[in-house]
Structure 1
Amino acid sequence: MSSLDTVPAGGRGTGYLAVFAVREFRAVFAAHALSTLGVVVSEVALSVLVYRLTGSPLLSALTFAFGLLPYVLGGTLLSSVADRFPARRVLVVCDLLCAACAALMVLPGMPVAVLLALRCVSAAVAPVFQGTRASTLSDILGEGGLFVLGRSVIRIVGQSGQLAGFGVGGLLLTVVSPHAVLMSAVATFLASALLLRFGTRRRPARAATDGGALVSDSLSGMRRLLADRRIRSLLLLCWVPPMFVVVSEALLTSYAGALALAPAALGLLMCGMPIGAILSETLVGSLLGPRGRARLTMPVAVLAMLPAVGYAFEPSLGWALVCQILTGCGIAYTLGLDQWFVAAVPEELRGRAMTLMTAGLMTAQGLGMTLAGAVAEFVPVHQVIAGGGVLGVVCVSAVLWSVRASRGSSGDGRGRRQPRAVTALDP
């Protein structure tokens, strides 16, 4: 590791400025901002294009759904890609595949079925890309406090990118065609690939390739990860809280309709959770050290469920916005979780572990949204949101008990670097 990339093991006394002092991270950050913008803009453009071609609200909505559904396939069947091949090559190839999919969408006369299939392909490689990038951050920033802050920055960019992407995509569609907007997405993916190719170092693959099939290797790695009690409990802590957090977000349109709110008010409510997430990540990452962030993990994971309970009183626009912002603030629990997770996972499985974590997270959110919508067909929306908060407190508390019980139970310490400052932060 060069002197420029060297970071303190514990990350003590460091903050976001120290993260950006690492040259490679600046390249990863810029590439992530571009690719996030490209993903969101292409989603908006594709949904408009499909609607104009078919006039079907269902098919238009499927362009967004198909951005989530393939996660579970890519995350389980392709996760070993993150460990079997050099990380930089994986990241660049994933960006190029997304660029190729977006470029093919631009071709005139492309059938809607093919457009949706291309959307599935780009979504299937997303967990591989995100898992590889997450595991690479531990190489670039070390396994201490800077890694946690780096992951935090990536999440902040993701939240901000969604806000900016929907705005930019909508603005572009007022002046140019969906095909032109998709071409701009191609440019962002290509720019991201160039930044990663020339802005990051080449590192060897984490795991030696034994010639086994890619899918079987992925499934074998997943079984190893899930067989470890500590890793399994931390994965659940990553997946379960977001599954309940998204209930209110999924039902905001229906809730706004019940209150007869204007579309602008609905848009304001939609911004609540991203705003809360950005604020909490920035403040906790800037003001607290590794130990303080770790101590917040468990209480904040539970507290994130409580704002939804406020919907039992059918809050007005202002109070509903407060509930959404406070719910978004709960994302701060992931800063401590990231540190525990990277310390628990064997290094040769880290890429697969991060890919599995990402795939499970997206799947859990999709499941939460689906179940919330199904229940809301029979139960008033405000009661569904409040009930989700209550059930979330119960389920998250059970997961936290499992996390505490798993302390020190990880059965495979081989191939793992656990700095003293890291293990001291375990719950």
Structure 2
Amino acid sequence: MSSPPAPENPHPTGTRPDGDGERSAGYRAVFGVREFRAVFVAHAMSTLGSVVCEIALAVLVYRLTGSPLLSALTFAFGLLPYVLGGTLLSSLADRFPARRVLVVCDLVSAACAAGMLLPGMPVALLLVLRCVIAAVAPVFTGTRASTLGDILGEGDLFVLGRSVIRIVAQSAQLAGFAMGGLLLAVASPRTVLALTVATFLGSAVLLRFGTRRRPARAATGGGTVLGASLSGMRLLLADRRIRALLLLSWVPPMFVVVSEALLTSYADSLMLSPAGLGLLMCGMPIGAITSETLVGSLLGPRGRARLTMPVAVLAMLPALGYAFEPSLGWALVCQILTGCGISYSLGLDQWFIAAVPEELRGRAMTLMTAGLMTAQGLGMTLAGTAAEFFPVHQVILFGGVLGIVCVSAVLRSVRTSARSTVHRAEAPPQPS
């Protein structure tokens, strides 16, 4: 296949050396690429809309049923279908032009959100529509991640572009919950859901007219979408290096979310006000945004790669502080430090894009996203279950200890896969 087109500014003048004299592109160079600016704004709009949709739908379902369980299921249904969409539909990211996939995913999400506006819509159908939005989300996310390589190239700009996308997601989480709460104070849930429809439609328009049309990465062939998705997943998981890197993208977040999932219960044990709980909930996003911005701005590719493994382990350590049942201030520090662990993803991204063949890149990114969301959902579920039988602070502590053990095992696999990859690359070609 032909190589992806170079970014508009492949040698930005704003680069600066890191500690090894290696030059880092910097976030300014990323925003210097016109297509990325369109992707950035579209991502901000759709992410904000998704967060507001979750809050508005949860309130709508609760007002219709009075059931806390059904209201909570609106959040659960935002995570559970990820594994289905990410495994069964992942080939869409490679079999069709990326722009078309992105626009169609946005339109499907907008149509589902519009369906939620219909008066008299049964609660069961509301939850089904929520599942559809969640099922197409990993396809959209994986396709967007893979097309960043086309827009920004496969080097430093790609890694920083992925970093910006994560920063937007964390920022939208903070802004979305605040905006959703304010809007629901003055408007009905269905009126707020209309805003979600507008954000998805706005994202579709930006992606359609703000990005170039590029051909599909893989030939459609005669197989089905399901067959191509499953065969692509088998190929990816059969590669030792890719499998190790996928585990590195899934395992640390699974344990990081333990404390976040139990913050409501922990705040109740401290008899904190709702404002105190809200402050604790802001801790991880603040740490993630701060650390990601600093690491992406100050370090080059080599420096970020060196931080990847130690930071993945260090992200588990703040949970050990809960052994002392910290007060609000210290618990907030623990949450901020935990959020700082997200910066390990910058080095992971540059390893992953180098390991995945281009024709499988869309499926790889979709699988990575689906696994990440599933791992986080599993981590939250197990944490909540354990907290039914043990004190909350002990569950968070044990999650940190178990996380250190599991992440250390994954890192050994990553090191081994790196050595085997080098050995294969250095081996002399076999005579035919």
TM-score range, shorter chain: over 0.9
Contact 2:7 2:152 in 1 (8 A): no
Match of 1:100 in 2: 111
* Pair 1:297 & 2:308 matched: yes
* Pair 1:91 & 2:107 matched: no
Q: How does 1:203-214 map onto structure 2 within 5 Å?
A: 203-214=214-225
Question: Could you state the TM-score of these two structures normalised by the residue count of structure 2?
Answer: 0.94
Q: Which amino acid aligns with 1:139?
A: D
* Pair 1:40 & 2:51 matched: yes
The alpha carbon displacement at 1:5 in A equals 2.2
SS of corresponding position for 1:174: helix
* Pair 1:123 & 2:134 matched: yes
Distance in 2 between residues matched to 1:205 and 1:409, nearest whole Å: 31
Contact 1:8 1:144 in 2 (8 A): no
Which one of the candidate residues 351, 360, 384 is aligned to 1:340?
351
Distance in 2 between residues matched to 1:391 and 1:141, nearest whole Å: 38
The alpha carbon displacement at 1:74 in A equals 0.2
* Pair 1:183 & 2:194 matched: yes
Match of 2:233 in 1: 222
Which one of the candidate residues 254, 267, 272 is aligned to 1:261?
272
Which one of the candidate residues 236, 248, 256 is aligned to 1:245?
256
The alpha carbon displacement at 1:381 in A equals 0.6
Distance in 2 between residues matched to 1:408 and 1:217, nearest whole Å: 30
After superposition, what is the alpha-carbon deviation per residue over 1:356-380, rounded to whole angstroms, capped at 9, x for unaligned? 0000000000000111111111111
Question: Could you state the TM-score of these two structures normalised by the residue count of structure 1?
Answer: 0.95
Contact 2:53 2:196 in 1 (8 A): yes
The alpha carbon displacement at 1:175 in A equals 1.1
Match of 1:139 in 2: 150
Give the share of equivalent positions with the same residue, in percent.
81
SS of corresponding position for 1:143: coil
Match of 1:73 in 2: 84
Contact 2:52 2:179 in 1 (8 A): yes
The alpha carbon displacement at 1:174 in A equals 1.1
Distance in 1 between residues matched to 2:312 and 2:393, nearest whole Å: 22
What 5-or-longer segments of structure 2 have no aligned partner?
A: 16-21, 426-432
Match of 1:19 in 2: 30
Match of 1:287 in 2: 298
Match of 2:8 in 1: 5
Distance 1:234 1:8, change over 3 A: farther
Distance in 1 between residues matched to 2:384 and 2:98, nearest whole Å: 38
Distance in 2 between residues matched to 1:8 and 1:359, nearest whole Å: 33
Match of 1:31 in 2: 42
Q: Which amino acid aligns with 2:412?
A: W
Q: Which amino acid aligns with 1:55?
A: G
SS of corresponding position for 1:406: helix
After superposition, what is the alpha-carbon deviation per residue over 1:202-240, rounded to whole angstroms, capped at 9, x for unaligned? 000000111201101100000000000000000000000
Q: Which amino acid aligns with 2:117?
A: V
Contact 2:386 2:395 in 1 (8 A): yes
Tell me the matched-pair count: 413
Q: Which amino acid aligns with 1:26?
A: R
Distance in 1 between residues matched to 2:255 and 2:364, nearest whole Å: 22
Which segment is superposed worse, 1-10 or 280-289? 1-10
After superposition, what is the alpha-carbon deviation per residue over 1:58-77, rounded to whole angstroms, capped at 9, x for unaligned? 10111010000000000000
Which one of the candidate residues 307, 321, 327 is aligned to 2:318?
307
Contact 1:274 1:328 in 2 (8 A): yes
